[in-house]
Structure 1
Amino acid sequence: MVIEYVGQVIRQVIADMREQRYEEEGIGSSYLFRIDQDTIIDATKCGNLARFINHSCNPNCYAKIITVESQKKIVIYSRQPISINEEITYDYKFPIEDTKIPCLCGADSCRGSLN
C-alpha cells in the first residue's frame, strides 16, 4: 500500500454540480475519483497527496477499491519496488468517450489518450 485517496464522499448529482462550480470558479483541475456507480470521492478542496499522483499508460502503481468496516475506500498500491525520487503513477482508466483527453505520460506504450 502506498496511500489512500481521501476526500469528501459524495453522490453523482453533487459531483456534477461541483464540477460545474469548479469550472466557473476557474479551478483548473478537479480531483473526482469514482468509487462505484453512485459514489465519488472529491479531493479537490480537502484531499491528501494522493490527488497529485499522475496518470501513466505504463504505471508503477494501481488503484483498488476496498471495503473497510462497510465503507468503500480507494487505495493506491505499488506494482513493483519504487526507487527514491521515482514518480508514482497509475492508470486513471477514464471511460471511453468521443472527446479524447490527450495523454502526455511519455511511456513507450502510451495509448495517446486518457480515455
Structure 2
Amino acid sequence: MVIEYVGQVIRQVIADMREQRYEEEGIGSSYLFRVDQDTIIDATKYGNLARFINHSCNPNCYAKIITVESQKKIVIYSRQPINVNEEITYDYKFPIEETKIPCLCGAESCRGSLN
C-alpha cells in the first residue's frame, strides 16, 4: 500500500454540480475519483497527496477499491519496488469518450489518450 485517496464522499448529482462550479470558479483541475456507480470521492479541496499522482500508460502503481468496515475506499498499491525520487503513477482508466484527453506520459507503450 502506498496511500489512500481521500476526500469528501459524494453522490453523482453533487459531483456534477461541483464540477460545474469548479469550472465557473476558475479551478483548473478537479480531483473527482469514482468509487462505484453512485459514489465519488472529491479530493479537490479536502484531499491528500494522492490527488497529485499522475497518470501513466506504464504505471508503477494501481488503484484498488477496498471495503473497510462497510465503507468503500480507494487505495493506491505499488506494482513493483519504487526508488527514491521515482514518480508514483497509475493508470487513470478514464471511460472511453468521443472527445479524447491527450496523454503526455511519455511511456513507450503510451495509448495517446487518457480515455
Distance in 2, Cα, partners of 1:38 & 1:104:
30
Q: Give the match's secondary structure for 2:51.
A: helix
Superposed displacement of residue 101, structure 1: 0.1
| 1:46-88 deviation digits (Å, cap 9, x = unpaired) | 0000000000000000000000000000000000000000000
3-state SS of paired residue (1:65): strand
Tell me the distance in 2 between the aligned counterparts of 1:85 and 1:23: 33
1:102 CA drift (Å)? 0.1
Aligned twin of 1:113: 113
Q: Secondary structure at the match of 1:13?
A: helix
- Shift >3 Å, 4+ stretches: none
Q: For the residues of structure 1 that align with 2:93 and 2:82, how far apart are their CA atoms?
A: 21
Shift of 1:9: 0.1
Partners of 1:31 and 1:106 lie apart in 2 by 22
| Cα offset, 1:36, TM superposition | 0.1
Map 1:76-95 → 2, pairs under 5 A: 76-95=76-95
Match of 2:27 in 1: 27
Q: 1:100 Cα deviation (Å)? A: 0.1
Provide structure 2 residue ranges, at least 5 long, that are not aligned to the other structure: none
Q: Which residue of structure 2 aligns with residue 52 of structure 1?
A: 52
Q: In 2, distance between residues paired with 1:106 and 1:25? A: 31
Secondary structure, counterpart of 2:82 in structure 1:
coil
Over the aligned positions, Cα root-mean-square deviation in angstroms equals 0.1
User: How many residues are aligned here?
Assistant: 115
Render the CA deviation track for 1:80-110: whole Å, top value 9, x for unaligned: 0000000000000000000000000000000
Deviation at 1:41, TM superposition (A): 0.0
TM-score w.r.t. the length of structure 1 is: 1.00
Identity score, percent:
95
